[in-house]
Amino acid sequence: MPRALFTGFVFLSVCSALAAEPFRAAEFDQKVLPMVERYCLGCHDAATAEGDFDLESFLTPAAMLANRKPWEKVLKQLKAGAMPPDGKKRPAVAERESAIAWLERALVHVDPSKPVPPGRVTARRLNRTEYNYTIRDLFGVSLKLADEFAGDDVGYGFDNIGDVLSISPLRMEQYLNAAEQLTAILLGKTDAPPYDEFSEGVFFQFNKKPRNPSDRGWEVVPEGQLWLDFELPVPGEYEIKLYAWGVEKPEEKDRSNNERWLEKDYPLDPKARPVVEATLLCDDQLIGHVPVQPGNGTTASRQIYTLRFTAQAGVHTIRVHHRFPREFTAEQIAAHLEKPLLAPRLGVRRVALRGPLQFGAAKLAPAHEALLKTRPASGLSESAAAGNILRAIGDRAFRRPLKADELRDLLRFVETRRSAGDDFERAVELAVQTMLVSPKFLFRLDNVELPPGKDDIAPLGDYALASRLSYFLTASMPDDTLLDLAAKGTLHEPQTLAAQVERLLADPRGAAFTEAFFGQWLGLRKVPEVTMDRGTFKTFSTELKDDLRRETTMFVESIVRENRPALELLTADYSFLNGRLAAFYGIAGVDRKAEFQRVSLQGTPRQGVLTHGSLLMLTSYPNRTSPTRRGAWILETILGEEPPPPPPNVPELEQTRAAAPNLSLREQLVQHRVNPTCISCHRTMDAIGFGLENFDGIGKWRDADQGRPIDASGDLPGGKAFKSPQELIGILARRDEDFVRHLSSKLLTFALGRGVEYYDRVALDEIVRQTKPDGFRFRDLVREVAISRPFRFTQTQNSDSKP
């Protein structure tokens, strides 16, 4: 078969360029039909339907426009040059390209005489992240109850897609259990305090190196500080226990702390004079000072100094600071600081936290406060008290005001439980549990609020919009600001939405967006699971993997935070590295012990995420790079041009290798794709992947592989040749509109929780158009998604059938 037929994967997307030309459906009969009849229907007619694919039923322009999915498959196969398969008659290049060009426009054609459909999002169950964050914001707790639930279903690359998120009887039980655990904790009636954790002193971070470390602890020197993060699940009063000892006259290499010595116990004198003190802090809040008596690592198991403090739920840094005894004069302290290593030391063995023992003076979320404290009293009937509690919770849990009949039903339920013998608190608690397992809590029912009417398209209700925006950007329920704007009915106004986008992305809760979106779009969530062969990659370690993931995470965070042009994802000449990573990348000028910081990549071969070790590793095999996987990943993730799946019965590369073991990887791959069906896709995939061959399987730069110099050159269909990773990235970056359009479609998918449909092309065009003048800045893209028509409107049940 002549080589000229295989022009390879069509690398230039034509759709944007030609979108302006008028579209004539009738051209189908000249541009597509003859080719399909001649080359496709032999196998894909209704009777044969090879591969379960019947094209015969869709052979008119109208049938094509009404059934675009099968034609999208046709387009993909044509673009890839994979169909008709090897050995069958194939259309001439011109014929094929003309059909491709026409189909690319036809398949995104939207009838201009009708309003553009905004699509309709299927009721979305809260995924695990959303459940945890919603409970957190509803009750002011940090419990992560959903971590116990089964994993979420994934569709279109994301775990928040209404059509695929399912619910099972088991999950229902888990919801019941979670609701029960939660109300028990909120009411403070668990058998034991919900939090009871400790950490050994030696796991703490420090400012001055503690001395004489052993498995029993270590000694903090003057001005020394230890700190560690603890995540407290509930607001309230916690008990903190410090297991500590004092050393009045320290010695270096004190043997009293080492294993052998410890077998003998050390008599504790309860009346001994304290020789040092410890200052305990929660974040920067003083918990208290405790005088510490002399002892050692062993006696510290009995030298327990207990204090109490009040804290909100969430992550807190617990700090233990060295302090001289209170009776020391300024002169004494100054003298000790002259020779700090001889000054009294604070030995720290362990820090334990338990609680809450009571809610005390902790500030509670309104829903929690109501549940815990509202009780019938004189002037407040039982039903009024129950009503107050249920409203305080329901108005938030359902993310809109509780309706009168809903409240009435709940109150009736409380009455029923009362007459079944439950006391007031128990009856209300059960009513709260019913809310927490109700579909009105567990699902986002965007369309329920719509006024019944004849219109096919309606604006989303403001409360539904508040939820949409809030779950998009914070993976959680709307906060009071959003609910207030919804109550006022102004949230849907574009400038209001735009301001809220800015506010939520700046909010700490906005980190949930970055984690979920980039974690799934780029695949960062998968990095922790990557295992590489340590024999091949000697420098690979879990620490390296964590560092690499941190790099990309900080990088994308900065793109969002600083509203950088989206294209910098590919081209940025900076990244975020710590000392270890800088050394790994071979970048000079960063101290080996340095923390993560912004580092210029100018003058290095690295730029943008394609050269981040995290993603290079993710697209490699455990023992070698995979140009094919890397190329496929870039086509799919960066450009949205997913190659079709490989045809069945393709020989493995390893078989090729076994046949010709002396060839380089590049030569092997060339051998591997002698099959013309394969070469069409592989030519592009492999070429892109080879452009990154200078980066080994874990992302380290190399000039040679197994003694052979790396050849990172390639050429892409359309005569685009490159010689290095930088040149390849340059070629990709010139397709900025394609990249931004694809990124926008990913954002839209994630924001809406549904797959992107052909008619969304109109919204995507608008997003691209609006953000182009200012260089496609990332937060501008997010804003445009939030004010786009699919985000703010919905099709009503009148137009229920899938458009």
Partner 1 sequence: MNPNLAFSTRRHFLRGVGITLSLPWLESMGGILHAADAEKEPRRLLLVCLPLGIFRDALIPKQTGIGYEATEYLSALQDFRDQFTVISGLEHPGVGGGHASQPRIFTGLPSAERNRRSLDQHVAAVLGQHTRFDTLTLSAGANDFSWTDSGSMVPAEKNVGDAFAKLFAEEGATNKTKVLREIGRGKSILDFVLDEASDLRPRLSKRDQDKLEEYFESVRATEKRLVKSEEWMHTPKPQVGVKAPAPFAPDEIITNMRNVCDLTYLAFKTDSTRVITFGYFRQDTVAVPGVKVGYHNLSHHGQDEGNIAQLKRVERAFFDELKTLLTNLKNAKEGDSNLLARTTIVVTSNLGSGSSHSNKDLPVLLAGGRFQHGQHLALAPGAVPLSNLYLSVLHQLGMDDKSFGASTGTLKGLELA
User: Scanning residues 515 to 544, which ones bind partner 1 (CB under 8 A)?
Assistant: 529, 531, 533
Neighbouring C-alpha atoms within 13 Å toward the C-beta of 783:
21
- Size of site (CB under 8 A) for partner 1: 82
Q: Is 180 in the site for partner 1 (CB under 8 A)?
A: yes
User: Considering the complex, what minimum distance in angstroms separates the CB of residue 266 from partner 1?
Assistant: 30
Cα(49)–Cα(26) distance, rounded to whole angstroms?
26
Residues from 784 through 803 that contact partner 1 (CB under 8 A): 797, 800
Q: Which string of x and - marks every residue 207-246 that binds partner 1 (by CB under 8 A)? A: ----------------------xxxxx-------------
Terminal Cα-to-Cα distance of the chain (whole angstroms): 42
Cα(640)–Cα(634) distance, rounded to whole angstroms?
8
Q: Is 442 in the site for partner 1 (CB under 8 A)?
A: yes
DSSP state of 634: I
Q: Is 388 in the site for partner 1 (CB under 8 A)?
A: no
Which residue from 380, 437, 511, 670 is in contact with partner 1, where contact means CB under 8 A? 437
Token pair for 131: 């459940």
Q: Under a CB-based contact definition with an 8 Å cutoff, are residues 547 and 578 in contact?
A: yes
Stretch that binds partner 1, among 119-127, 132-140, 245-253, 707-715 (CB under 8 A): 119-127
Q: Under a CB-based contact definition with an 8 Å cutoff, are residues 426 and 760 in contact?
A: no
Q: Is 33 in the site for partner 1 (CB under 8 A)?
A: no
What are the C-alpha distances in Å from 570 to residues 575, 715, 725, 740?
11, 19, 11, 11
Q: Is 191 in the site for partner 1 (CB under 8 A)?
A: yes
Q: Is 423 in the site for partner 1 (CB under 8 A)?
A: no
Between 39 and 175, CB nearer to partner 1: 175
Q: For tokens 């809450």, name the residue.
A: 356
Which residue from 33, 352, 650, 670 is in contact with partner 1, where contact means CB under 8 A? 650
Which residue from 58, 158, 195, 513 is in contact with partner 1, where contact means CB under 8 A? 195
Q: Is 26 in the site for partner 1 (CB under 8 A)?
A: no
Q: Is 171 in the site for partner 1 (CB under 8 A)?
A: yes
Q: Is the peptide bond before 356 cis (omega within 30 degrees of 0)?
A: yes
Q: Under a CB-based contact definition with an 8 Å cutoff, are residues 216 and 400 in contact?
A: no
Q: Is 424 in the site for partner 1 (CB under 8 A)?
A: no
Token pair for 324: 């001289």
Cα 216 from chain centre:
38
Between 56 and 95, CB nearer to partner 1: 56
Cα(740)–Cα(570) distance, rounded to whole angstroms?
11
Cα(34)–Cα(40) distance, rounded to whole angstroms?
10
Between 45 and 479, CB nearer to partner 1: 45
Cα 492 from chain centre:
27
Which residue from 658, 704, 707, 773 is in contact with partner 1, where contact means CB under 8 A? 658
Between 432 and 751, CB nearer to partner 1: 432
User: Considering the complex, what minimum distance in angstroms separates the CB of residue 11 from partner 1?
Assistant: 26
Q: Is 701 in the site for partner 1 (CB under 8 A)?
A: no
Q: Under a CB-based contact definition with an 8 Å cutoff, are residues 411 and 386 in contact?
A: yes
Q: How many residues does the chain have?
A: 803
Stretch that binds partner 1, among 393-401, 448-456, 485-493, 727-735 (CB under 8 A): 448-456
What are the C-alpha distances in Å from 699 to residues 573, 719, 738?
17, 28, 26
Which residue from 417, 612, 682, 761 is in contact with partner 1, where contact means CB under 8 A? 417
Cα 726 from chain centre:
28
Token pair for 269: 């004198």
User: Considering the complex, what minimum distance in angstroms separates the CB of residue 51 from partner 1?
Assistant: 9
Q: Is 661 in the site for partner 1 (CB under 8 A)?
A: no
Q: Which string of x and - marks every residue 150-169 that binds partner 1 (by CB under 8 A)? A: xx-x--------xx--xxxx
Which residue from 19, 184, 407, 663 is in contact with partner 1, where contact means CB under 8 A? 184
User: Considering the complex, what minimum distance in angstroms separates the CB of residue 405 from partner 1?
Assistant: 8
Stretch that binds partner 1, among 84-92, 148-156, 344-352, 371-379 (CB under 8 A): 148-156
Q: Under a CB-based contact definition with an 8 Å cutoff, are residues 691 and 570 in contact?
A: no
Q: Is 440 in the site for partner 1 (CB under 8 A)?
A: yes
Token pair for 566: 């989206």
Which residue from 603, 648, 719, 773 is in contact with partner 1, where contact means CB under 8 A? 648
Cα(270)–Cα(294) distance, rounded to whole angstroms?
10
Stretch that binds partner 1, among 31-39, 191-199, 472-480, 629-637 (CB under 8 A): 191-199
